[in-house]
Each structure stands twice: as C-alpha cells, then as structure tokens.
Structure 1
Amino acid sequence: MSLKEKILIADDSEMNQMLLEEILSDKYEYVMAKDGTEAVDILEKNDDIDLVMLDINMPKMDGFGVLEIMNLRHWISEVPVIIISSESDVDFIRRSYDLGASDYISRPFDLTVVRRRVENTLMLYARQKRLVRLVEEQVYEREKTNNTMINILSHVIEYRNNESGQHILHVRMMTDILLRRLIEITDKYPLTETDISMIVSISALHDIGKISVPKAILNKPGKLDPEEWEIMKNHAAIGDAMLYDLGTQQAETLMNLAHEICRWHHERWDGRGYPDGLKG
C-alpha cells in the first residue's frame, strides 16, 4: 500500500494532465479523468482520493457539475478541490468557491504556485482530519466512561434488589428493539442512532429510586400488602427526585431522558400505571 497522497486530475487536455504531473513530480500518486462524468465515477469507486484538481470546461459534465455532485453526496467536506482553469471572470471564480472549491489556480501554470498551493491544501485538510479524529476519540472515551458509570450504578441497585444482572441487559435489549420497531412503523418520532443509543444507555437507570425502598420490602417473598405496595410504587417518583437533587442542568437532553425514564417507566397505556396515571 502506497503512503503517497493521491490526486485526481480532471481535465480533458492530456497536455495539461502531463504538465501537472510533471510540475508535482513523483511526490504523489495520480489518477486521470478526461471529463466530469469520469471524475465522478472515480470518486465514487475510490475512497482514497486526497485532492481533486478540477478543470471547469470539460465535455459530458463540466467542473461545476462535478462540484454540485460532490456537494450532494457530501464528498466536498472530505476531499478538497482546486480549480484549474484559464477563466478569469470574477463571477466564474466566485461560483467555484460557492460550490466548495478550496483554491483556484489559473493557467498558464506557474511551477512554484502549483506546488505550494497543492501542498498547503493537503496540509490543511490533513490537520482538519486529525482534529476530527481527535474529537471523535474524545467523544468515544467520554461515552465509554459514562456507560461504565451507568452500568456500575445500575448493577449496585440490582444487587441490592437481589435481581440478576441480566435484568439490566434485558431492559436495554428490549428498549433497543422497541425503539427500532417504532421508527419502522411511524415517522412521528424521528429518532437518530445517537438518540437510540442515549435512551438505551439511560434505560439502565430506570430503577434507581429503589435504593430508597427498604430491603425487607424489595426482597420480600410473596405478595406485598397494600401499604408495602405503596412504598414500592414510590420508587419511580423518588428516582426522578434524586436526579433533581444532583443540580445538573435540566435542559440537557441526557438528564431530561433520565427524568422521564425514572419517573414514567411504570405508566400504562390504559392509565392504570404510576406515579402520574398517564394515559394514551
């Protein structure tokens, strides 16, 4: 596997292709396209293109058409484009930038200008990709830590309740299945993968309020008497109140979900649930 950066040169002039390859020397790998349609096809089939050098006036599909497709398919944010053209009209150049081009090089080519602008563009995008990866890694580590803490707390609650740790796993699995089925049958709840992941994670804390219920009631064999049942039912409202006592910003999506799950996980469609008797 080559470690050289790969440049797609899209120009209907073979002389221009050869000239650019000569100017940029053997520092890069090159893929050639003689028109816009071929350039799009190459981009579609190759995810290792690091830079596109794009002529505007080409047969079948011009450079503007290529830029429009790159925007439509969200390639423009991943692959920088340098326009190469003899056009000097201001509106022409402005349209290129409006469509996401990173730079503009006019013909005839100046060796130093071409080399420097290609190097600078590739360097800028390489830094951008490193920053994106760094942010993704930080988000991943934070989510992993959050999930670990949620799992520890939920298992502490289940241990006190003498329930198997499988209960938490089952709740999370059922929550995931129900949410995915929900978005299949209705567009009323436009849940993203992030939304689903967040709800599934927080579902593990649904019984946090049980930490306030006496163990004698939690682990009583047989049926609870009416007074004990009222104490047991309080765990939903108590779990909600415990979260308020944390003093965390209530506007945060994560905390709003936690409140709803802790308080309402025993509500029923027919209104016979608790603590608020929600219906429908």
Structure 2
Amino acid sequence: MNRRDTILVADDVEINRAVLRSIFEEDYNVLEAENGEQALFLMRQYRDSIAIVLLDLIMPVRDGYEVMEEWQADPSLRGLPVAVITADDSVESEIRVFDLGASDIIGKPFEPHLVRRRIQNIVSLSQRHLDQDDCIREQARKLRESNAAVIDALSSIIEYRSAETGQHIKRIQLFTRVLLEDVAANCPDLGLDESHIAMIVSASSLHDIGKIAIPDAILNKPGRLIAEEFEVMKTHAVKGCEILSRLDRMGDRDYLK
C-alpha cells in the first residue's frame, strides 16, 4: 500500500512554518515553501510521498488561490489533499477555497492540538482512499490476468484463420506501444502511465477480431477482391464490435472501452 510520510508547509512567514513544523515533525518529514512557486515545485517533486499540503493564501510569486488552481488542473497532483491555513475568515474566501477543492480551512493563529487532530483526520481519510484505489487496481490486474487466456485464445484464432494476421497483430502492438510512450512523454497532463499503456497495447490485439466472421474464401483470397467480396470484408469492423460487446461479462470495463 502507498504510505505517505511527508507534510508540505507553504507559508511566507517563517514563524508560521516553525510552529507547524514543531507540531508535525515527530510524525512526518516536513517540507517548507516560502511562496506558491516553491510549493508547486515541491508538490510535483514529492507528490508520491506527500500526505497533505498546508497552504497559506497570501504569499509572494504565486498566492494560495493560484496554487490550488494549478493543483486542480494537473492530473498528477489531484490526489494530494490540501488544507488552507489563513487569517482570512470571510465567507467569500471560504467559498472560493472550498470550490477550489480544499479539504479544510485552519484559521490563524494556530491551536496546536486542534490543528494536529484535524490534519490527522484528513490524512487518515486520504490514506483510506489511496488504499481503496490500490485494492481496485490490484483487483483489476488480477482480472486482466484471468482474462489474458481468453484474449490469447481469441488472438490465436485470428492468427489461425489468416497467416498474415499473426505478424500484423504483433506489428500493431509494437506501433501502439511506441505511439503511446511518445504521447505519455510529450503530454503528461493526460496521465498516461505504464499500466494504461500495457492495457491498450494488450487490447489492440483484438482490433481484427471481426475477421473470424469473414468466410475463408474471402479472407484468404490470393487475388484482388471483387466489389461484392470487399463489401463482405468491410463488415469485419461491425462484426468485431458485436463480438466484443458480448465480452462484457469479463467485467473489465476499462479494457473493453
């Protein structure tokens, strides 16, 4: 399970950072940022170990509102809980903060025991969500492994039906992986990780599954297809969709999509 052991304190006032550090340093590693730009840099660099971000609203370079706007826009950061620390207790500020996705608002000056309890509650809830996500991913992995035999069998049928299709499937898988890795490298905002790439590469092997329904005389005809035969050949896309729709019982919605 993913255990996070770091708290990021983002506040331009040193005494505030010192107070919060003293509250949490026995239980967590504490990172400190003096402005919003530093906060975003540390959030991205340590996103897998940060348990929560304690974020001041009024800071130089970028204020807390700007940090939260970018936090919400970046898929890689959305899993990080953020608690706002501020002396601004206006209703307008509270509404804006919660609309931007903050888990809680902690007023200044701090009451150490209250701050500790509220932050612990947020971190515990976030950790439960992370654990649930890990369990779901593990169940999906096991489900895909159990479905792999079915996928391999279907792919083998396609290869058996058409001698050229076997190498075609391997090429499609290769090209799919190359393209997806390029997309992942150049478009990180899409959140395309290795598990997504592996799933899509595996699913690509079924792109010609509808050829099972095409008669041998047309599928393996050595010469050019006549117009009527070509119309039959073109139905393999629709047939493939019909076949895949019957695989709904496999239970892996992401894979089928």
| TM-score of the aligned structures, taking structure 1 as reference length | 0.64
The amino acid that maps onto 1:202 is L
| Structure number having the greater helix percentage | 2
* AA of the residue aligned to 2:168: H
Residue 205 of structure 1 aligns to which amino acid in structure 2?
I
Give the superposition deviation at 1:106: 0.7
Of 200, 206, 211, which residue of structure 2 is paired with 1:207?
Answer: 211
Report the AA paired with residue 205 of structure 2.
S
Provide Cα deviations, 1:119-165, integer angstroms capped at 9, x if missing partner. Answer: 11111111111222222233333334334312213324645x595xx
Amino acid at match of 1:201: S
Equivalent in the alignment of 1:38: 38
Aligned to 1:14: 14
Q: Structure 1 residues 142 and 85, CA, compared in 2 at 3 Å: closer, same or farther?
A: same
Say whether residues 1:90 and 2:118 are aligned partners: no
Q: More deviation in 57-66 or 80-89?
A: 57-66
- 1:209·1:240 contact (CA, 8 Å) conserved in 2? no
**Structure of greater relative contact order (alpha carbons < 8 Å, 6+ residues apart):** 2
1:176, distance to aligned residue in structure 2 (A): 6.0
Root-mean-square deviation (Å): 4.3
Mean alpha-carbon deviation: is it higher for 73-82 or for 192-201? 192-201
2:246 is paired with a residue whose SS is coil
CA contact (8 A) 1:84 1:107 kept: yes
Q: Give the percent of matched residue pairs that are identical in Structure 1 and Structure 2.
A: 27
2-structure distance, mates of 1:70, 1:239 = 41
- Other structure's SS at 1:83 match: strand
SS at 2:106 equivalent: strand
Query: Structure 1 122/247 Cα, relative in aligned 2: closer, same or farther at 3 Å?
Result: closer
Please give the alpha-carbon distance, in whole angstroms, between the structure 2 residues aligned to 1:162 and 1:87.
Answer: 70
Question: What's the CA shift string for 1:39-58, capped at 9, x where partnerless?
Answer: 12222333322211011122
Structure 1 contact 147–201 (Cα < 8 Å) conserved = no
In structure 1, the residue matched to 2:189 is none
**Structure 2 Cα separation of the partners of residues 71 and 162 of structure 1:** 49
- Judged with a 3 Å threshold, the aligned counterparts in structure 2 of structure 1 residues 243 and 170 are, in CA distance, closer, same or farther, namely closer
CA–CA separation in structure 2 for the residues paired with 1:20 and 1:56 = 15
Residue in structure 2 matched with residue 24 of structure 1 by the alignment: 24
Match of 1:171 in 2: 169
Instruction: Quote the Cα distance in structure 2 between the aligned partners of 1:21 and 1:115.
Output: 11
Q: Which is greater in Rg?
A: 1
Contact 2:44 2:77 in 1 (8 A): no
Q: What is the aligned residue count?
A: 229
Counting only pairs closer than 5 Å after superposition, residues 98-247 of structure 1 correspond to structure 2 as 98-156=99-157, 158-159=159-160, 163=163, 167-174=165-172, 177=175, 197=201, 200-203=204-207, 205-209=209-213
Amino acid at match of 2:137: E
Secondary structure in 1 matching 2:105: strand
Which residue of structure 2 aligns with residue 270 of structure 1?
A: none
Q: Distance in 2 between the 1:14 and 1:139 partners?
A: 46
Distance 1:15-1:157 versus aligned 2 partners, 3 A rule: closer
Cα distance, 1:244–1:203 mapped onto 2, change above 3 Å:
closer
Matches of 1:247 and 1:46, distance apart in 2: 41
1:171 aligned partner, one-letter code: I
Runs (5+) with no aligned partner, structure 1: 185-191, 225-229, 259-280
Distance, in Å, in 1 between the alignment partners of 2:142 and 2:115 is 41
Structure 1 residues 156 and 42: alpha-carbon distance in aligned structure 2, compared to 1, 3 A threshold: closer
Unmatched segments (≥5 aa) in structure 2:
184-191
